[in-house]
Structure 1
Amino acid sequence: MLVSDLEAFDGLRVRANGLVLPGGMDFEVWRRVGRHVLQAAESVSWWVGDWLVYGQHTYGDRYQKAIAQTSLDYQTLRNYAWVANKFPLSRRRDKLSLGHHSEVAALIEVEQDTWLARAERLGWSRNELRRRLRAARLAGRRESRPSPPALQSVRLEVSRQQHHRWQAAAAQRDRAVDDWIVETLDQAASGTAIDD
């Protein structure tokens, strides 16, 4: 996301201290501008993190003097750098925020990838991801496990009543419906009792 992407919208001007929107803007255009602005805001966090990592590796002690001149809180800068360092560009998920990545950064790579894939697939907010991680830790179970090398998709057609019943059962176990279905089927296939 670049400033030129925003300025492609007719009559819109980007300034260092604001965004000038033209009068009479169509609602859908206004929504698209908003998506670009929010994407730019998220991108800036990654950009700052990458800038800091580069400075740490390239300039050593001089790096500290340079970051002291920024207007951002030291802890914020440190977090951006830590997350950027933990996730090379090739492992970052475009649909998830730096905050999502921050939530899993302390985990081993395979667990990071598993949780991020789940958050992306289920559309979890950063707070939802945090809540799920906390619940998994408190329950003492290791929900995060490496994905199998090749995944198969299964399409089920069920009644609305079944779907609502399954959602309720999954919610009781603090699980996403698709995760609950897979676990329930695995339990049934292995011959173990399904806990109620």
Structure 2
Amino acid sequence: MMRNQVEECKDAKALSFDRAAETVPRARRANEAESRRDQVLTTKVGLHIPVGLAFEEWERAGRQLSGLLNSSSWWLGDWLVYGKDHYADRYERGIRAAGLQYQTLRNYAWVSRRFELRRRRPALSFQHHAELASLPVGEQETWLDRAERMKWTTKQLRNAIRAQREGTPQATVEATTRRLAVPDNRLKWWHKAAAQSGTELADWVMDTLDAAAAQVLKEAERQLPLE
């Protein structure tokens, strides 16, 4: 029996095969099993997380999982593009055999076709690219540059594109990326309030600040002397 292992090959990853675990010396298998107990392991139905895992290790696992999730969209898109280009009469059978949903794969493949490998930005997510897939190449590059430079989230990128289409000044768009240092306890408090309101934190903050500003300005107008 053979098992797949992923090995590093410069900046890419390739599948290789090694001998079955049964052929590995017993002492070595015991050492490997012992070391795996201290690792975060993936299975088809979830994660095995060891008791007492350090925060730094838990955080690193999250970054790795996030990276895999983002990369998998590109992988599946490229996989379908290749299948359609090389197995026009059989690729649908391959999709069914893999147990994948064609509609989802088609979306991945469309984005993959719109962005050649050399044009994809590792610092930005697949969803960033998906937001721009329908635009001409020149506009895609412009927005990718801005999103990467400003460290925009997908939502901020979407809002910036919408604002430009609606004629909102660019200064207003870029102002949305300014950061405010907030103590952790206050941030948790705000998250709780936003959850109670049934809104996202960013929307709740904007609505609350707008309401507060309107109230202050209204009070200021009342205090103006009558002429």
TM-score, normalization by structure 1? 0.66
2:137 aligned partner: 109
2:47 aligned partner: 19
Q: Flag the structure with more relative contact order, 1 or 2, with Cα contacts below 8 A and sequence separation at least 6.
A: 1
1:133 aligned partner: 161
Cα distance in 1, alignment partners of residues 37 and 66 from structure 2: 15
2:173 aligned partner: 175
Does residue 80 of structure 1 match 2:108?
yes
In structure 2, do the counterparts of structure 1 residues 9 and 59 end up closer, same or farther at CA, with 3 Å as the change threshold?
Answer: farther
Q: Secondary structure at the match of 1:102?
A: helix
Query: Does the CA-based 8 Å contact 1:49-1:82 persist in structure 2?
Result: yes
In structure 2, do the counterparts of structure 1 residues 70 and 126 end up closer, same or farther at CA, with 3 Å as the change threshold?
Answer: farther
Cα distance in 2, alignment partners of residues 129 and 85 from structure 1: 21
Alpha-carbon offset, residue 175 of structure 1: 2.3
1:184 aligned partner: none
In structure 2, do the counterparts of structure 1 residues 140 and 131 end up closer, same or farther at CA, with 3 Å as the change threshold?
Answer: closer
1:120 aligned partner: 148
1:160 aligned partner: none
Structural RMSD (CA):
2.9
Amino acid at match of 1:53: V
Amino acid at match of 1:22: P
TM-score, normalization by structure 2? 0.57
In structure 2, do the counterparts of structure 1 residues 44 and 9 end up closer, same or farther at CA, with 3 Å as the change threshold?
Answer: farther
In structure 2, do the counterparts of structure 1 residues 8 and 130 end up closer, same or farther at CA, with 3 Å as the change threshold?
Answer: farther
In structure 2, do the counterparts of structure 1 residues 98 and 9 end up closer, same or farther at CA, with 3 Å as the change threshold?
Answer: farther
Alpha-carbon offset, residue 72 of structure 1: 4.1
Cα distance in 2, alignment partners of residues 12 and 140 from structure 1: 47
Does residue 65 of structure 1 match 2:93?
yes
In structure 2, do the counterparts of structure 1 residues 4 and 10 end up closer, same or farther at CA, with 3 Å as the change threshold?
Answer: farther
Cα distance in 1, alignment partners of residues 151 and 94 from structure 2: 37
Question: Please, which of 109, 119, 122 is the counterpart of residue 91 of structure 1?
Answer: 119
Identity of aligned residues (%): 46
Amino acid at match of 1:107: L
Amino acid at match of 1:127: K
1:43 aligned partner: 71
1:157 aligned partner: none
Amino acid at match of 1:20: H
Q: Secondary structure at the match of 1:93?
A: coil
1:151 aligned partner: none
Amino acid at match of 1:67: I
Paired positions, count: 147
Alpha-carbon offset, residue 29 of structure 1: 1.2
Alpha-carbon offset, residue 16 of structure 1: 2.0
The runs of 5 or more residues in structure 2 that have no matched partner are: 9-34, 178-227
Does residue 55 of structure 1 match 2:83?
yes
Alpha-carbon offset, residue 66 of structure 1: 2.1
